[in-house]
Amino acid sequence: LGIDGTIKSLLIEKIRILIYDRQFTREGYICNSCRYLTVEYKDGCPYCGGKLVFYNDIVDEIVEDALNQGCEIVDIEGNEKLIRAGSIGAVLRYKL
């Protein structure tokens, strides 16, 4: 659960079901070459060296990438347990 773990799982294509609060937003960065996502600024993409571009809301990009990977998407609004856990999470295809 949480943005960091969800992004990590998404980047290695391990997500089966993405679950998020539809009101959740988060600033972040996306590589303009390989679509690496992160919430922390880095000088360049750690995978390909491409430029990281600032986004006001990377949650929409996470959802888009998850859909492109064939993930099921569950958007929930106002679930207190999900909000306390970081407002985003995933059911994995298998354990990391």
Closest CA to 27 of 51, 5, 57: 57
Residue-number span of the structural domain to which 9 is assigned: 3-92
Confidence of residue 6 (pLDDT cuts 50, 70, 90): very high
In this structure, what DSSP letter does residue 69 have? Answer: T
In tens, the pLDDT along 26-68 reads 999 999 999 999 999 999 999 999 999 999 999 999 999 999 9
* CATH code of residue 19: 3.30.1330.30
Phi-psi region of 84 (alpha: psi -120 to 50; beta: other; left: phi over 0): alpha
Q: How far apart are CA 50 and CA 67, in angstroms?
A: 23
In tens, the pLDDT along 76-96 reads 999 999 999 999 999 999 775
What's the total number of domains in the chain?
A: 1
Q: Can you give the pTM of this predicted structure?
A: 0.91
Crossing angle of the two packed helices 3-11 and 59-68, in degrees rounded to 10: 30
